[in-house]
Amino acid sequence: MLKEINENAQSLRHTCGAFFKSNLRRLKEQLDGADKIIIVGCGTAYNSGLVAKRWFEGCGCTLVDVEVASEVRYFPPKVTKSTLVLAVSQSGETADTVEAASILRGMGAYVVAITNVDYSAITKIADQVVNVVAGCEICVAATKSYIGQLTSLYMLSQLKKGTADCGFAVLNQIAQSVESVVQNDELIDKISSLCAKSSAVFFLGRGIDYAVAVEGSLKLKEVSYIFSDGYPAGELKHGTLALVDEKTLGIIIITHVQLLEKCQSTVEQIVSRHGRVVVITTLQGVLEKLKGKAECVLTLPEADENLSPFLTATAVQLIAYKTAVKLGRNPDRPRNLAKSVTVE
């Protein structure tokens, strides 16, 4: 798992380069003509869609839905001949995602497969393929393929927006920052010790940070077996706050400067119930603001909030990995899970 997290920047760069081998003219036509975009996937692939929804909406797409593939099988959403489906799957073999793509295509939608594996089942169903070039991913918990999926989805959103290089330049810059997150992991070590001592860990954030929080929670539960949930920060007070005590840890992701104050109040809500708090941020000056409240503030390189998921996701992957190791669990072979689920 660690080796694969260390390859995040490479996955980003290679996927970026490969994007231009896709038929961009056809993709652009579909993006511009779409009445709705539906992103489908399972697990981490689904979670990449939660991030991408924010990107597409920011680029003027009015209707963007993210669907869990296993639900689509029995409760397919409404589609028309102008609906664009982005079916995301690292392996391209996940039965639920392949079936969902097939059903939606049968209903008239145009299906683009976003996958790390050439000639996989999903590529045979799709109208078009966008390649993720993460390289072979062996660990059950997806890491570098998630970064590759985010890269493809970001570039598609920029293609829709009309950005000349589809985001190639800014993505290559962010790849350097991803490398520095992996290299400076002293604080991540401290955070994983806090996780290892916790009975439950809640990942919280707003907007795009919420989407990464969901993936952070999935990674942690997959490899450490600690109970975890990913939550919109503002929802905490509507139920989950009842679970907060001295054994719980809140990991709050903050990358929107305009939401900093709101997130500070989330920190206070947890601390006043004796819960412990860690903050992951790309904003400067947060450490000073939260002194005496958060146990630890991990300040990542400064980044545009839209590109921040590449950094915050790398950090949460490392936290999950280190927590599993601290608890003596083998992150490469998590119990009960399979890399690719080819049955329903």
Q: Looking at the chain, which runs of residues are DSSP E strands?
A: 36-41, 64-68, 83-89, 110-115, 128-131, 200-205, 227-232, 248-254, 276-281, 296-299
Alpha helix segments (H runs only) across 250-308: 260-271, 286-289
42 belongs to the binding site for ligand G6P (CB under 6 A): yes
How far, in whole angstroms, is CA 16 from its chain's centroid? 17
Q: Exposure of 164 by Cβ count < 10 A (0-12 exposed, 13-18 middle, 19+ buried)?
A: exposed
Neighbours of 273 (CB within 10 A): 15
Contact with ligand G6P (CB under 6 A) among 1, 45, 126, 134: 45
Nearest residue to ligand G6P on Cβ basis = 43
90 belongs to the binding site for ligand G6P (CB under 6 A): yes
Cβ proximity to ligand G6P: between 120 and 192 the closer is 120
Contact with ligand G6P (CB under 6 A) among 10, 30, 83, 91: 91
243 belongs to the binding site for ligand G6P (CB under 6 A): no
- Among 86-94, 152-160, 197-205, 284-292, which window interacts with ligand G6P (CB under 6 A)? 86-94
Cβ proximity to ligand G6P: between 143 and 269 the closer is 143
Q: Name every residue whose Cβ is closer than 8 Å to that of residue 304 and which is 6 or more positions away in sequence.
A: 170
Site residues (CB under 6 A) for ligand G6P, limited to 117-146: 140-142
Cβ proximity to ligand G6P: between 131 and 264 the closer is 131
The answer to whether 46 and 74 are in contact (CB under 8 A) is no
Contact with ligand G6P (CB under 6 A) among 10, 30, 97, 248: 97
Question: Smallest distance, Å, CB 13 to ligand G6P?
Answer: 21
Structure tokens at 162: 């009309």
278 belongs to the binding site for ligand G6P (CB under 6 A): no
Q: In terms of Cα–Cα distance, which of 141, 23, 38 is closest to 83? A: 38
Question: Smallest distance, Å, CB 269 to ligand G6P?
Answer: 31
Residues that bind ligand G6P (CB under 6 A): 42-45, 89-91, 94, 97, 140-142, 337-341
